[in-house]
Amino acid sequence: MRIARTLLTGLGGLLAGGALQAASLQETPLGQDGHYRLSYYSNQPLAAAMPAITRVVIVVHGILRDADRSLASAESALAGSGADGGAVLLVAPQFWNEADAKAGKVAPATPYWHKAGWSLGYDSGDGRALSSFTVIDDLVRKFADPAAFPGVRRIVVAGHSAGAQMISRHAAFNTVHDSLRKNVSLRYVVANAGTYMYFTGERTADTGACPGYDAYKYGTASFPDGFGYPHGQAPLERFRRFAARDISFLQGTDDTRPATAEGGPDGSCAALLGGATRLARGVEHARHLRALARREGASLHSQFHRVQGVGHDEGRMWAAACAAEPLFGAPKRAGAPGAACAALD
């Protein structure tokens, strides 16, 4: 089997001499009894015990499945923040698809998904029927384990573009959030998502010419057979749980390429009900969440930010002034480059 990059198997992911090669692809066992393995990149080699780590940032790549670039973007943003870099573990999971498997990039015990199904929590297509949301759950549990990570107090799950689509939906469905030990908190950071999931069938635009508009991934009226992750909650119960979670939404003000253009967002009828561009969809979804919270008397713990002058650019989004605290727990370092932010009204 051909592996495009060096695979460092096992929990340690260490080379001879204990050094970790830059941007080397590693694997770690996950799940009950380590029944599958996850490919990932990280800024520090995982060890049996990492007592110095206080914060873990899991950053999910976009549609290109370039987790190495996502890690590099996060590392650059961390360097520009005021956080203690030695106390922050950055992990960029690599979600493979069938094309990667056919190209020989995927190890036998590692799951892969059909096309971009990983970004929606769909079951893997390798026979395991493993939801990509379950992979995130297992990563969170791993880093919340006091035996290996006794100092961890905050876990952040972040994503840009397709990764943001994944993280925003995972935040709505997962139950691992409420199962963590009391001194560990979980935060989500969603940047430039191409589509959003609505919690009710209500839309600002006319839905009459768009049958099925409220099916998952756009809503929750129905779910496909390939979505096996637990989703039996009533819609408003699901919303209340989502509203109570710490979520930062970041939207680039220049992410305005229309759905009809190359590189634009989803151009389906259901997606267009939320707007023609990623920026428009972020604004409309924020309105949906705020209006629903007011109507239901729910306290919405989400923050909404415009990142000024930035388009569909992961590195610049993570380097923005309003990304530093949600990601790293510290403001930007004085003089460090990064876009300014404003409230997303």
- What is the average pLDDT across 223-236? 96
**Mean pLDDT value across residues 301-305:** 99
Q: What is the pLDDT of residues 311-345, one digit of tens each?
A: 999 999 999 999 999 999 999 999 999 999 999 98
Reduce the secondary structure of the chain to three states and give it as a string.
CCCCCCEECCCCCCCCCCCCCCCCEEEEEECHHHCEEEEEEECCCCCCCCCCCCEEEEEECCCCCCHHHHHHHHHHHHHCECCCHHHEEEEEEECEEHHHHHCCCCCCCCCEECCCHHHHCCECCCCCCCEHHHHHHHHHHHHCCCCCCCCCCEEEEEEECHHHHHHHHHHHHCCHHHHCCCCCEEEEEEECCCCCCCCCCCCCCCCCCCCCCCCCCCCCCCCCCCCCCCCCCCHHHHHHHHHCCEEEEEEECCCCCCCCCCCCCCCCHHHHCCCCCHHHHHHHHHHHHHHHHHHHCCCCCEEEEEECCCCCCHHHHHCCHHHHHHHHCCCECCCCCCCCEEECC
Q: Which has the minimum average pLDDT: 22-26, 166-170, 268-272, 283-287?
A: 22-26
pLDDT, tens digit (0-9, with 9 covering 90-100), for 230-276:
999 999 999 999 999 999 999 999 999 999 999 999 999 999 999 99
Examine the pLDDT at 15 and tell me if it is beyond 90: no
- pLDDT score at 12: 37
Q: How far apart are CA 108 and CA 267, in angstroms?
A: 35
| Residue 47 confidence (pLDDT) | 83
Residue with tokens 């991934």, as numbered in its chain: 217
pLDDT level of residue 45 (50, 70, 90 thresholds): confident
Instruction: Place 22 in a pLDDT band, splitting at 50, 70 and 90.
Output: low
Task: Give the tokens for residue 52.
Answer: 């110095």
Domain 7-343 coded CATH 3.40.50.150: no
Confidence tier at 10 by pLDDT (50, 70, 90): very low
Q: What is the structure's pLDDT at 29?
A: 96
Predicted confidence at residue 11, as pLDDT, reads: 35
| Amino acid 48: pLDDT | 84
Domain ranges across the chain: 7-343
In one letter, which amino acid is 332? Answer: K
List pLDDT tens digits, range 170-222.
999 999 999 999 999 999 999 999 999 999 999 999 999 999 999 999 999 99
| pLDDT beyond 60 at 18 | no
Average pLDDT, the chain: 93
Considering only CA atoms, which of 250, 279, 266 is closest in space to residue 195?
A: 266
Residue 185 makes CB contacts below 8 A (sequence gap 6+) with 153, 154, 155, 246
Look at 43-52, 158-167, 217-226, 235-244 and tell me which has the smallest mean pLDDT.
43-52
Share of the chain above pLDDT 70, in %: 93
- The terminus-to-terminus CA distance of the chain in angstroms comes to 51
Q: Give the per-residue pLDDT at 20.
A: 38
Kindly indicate the confidence band of residue 23, based on its pLDDT and cuts at 50, 70 and 90: low
What local confidence, expressed as pLDDT, does residue 17 receive?
A: 33
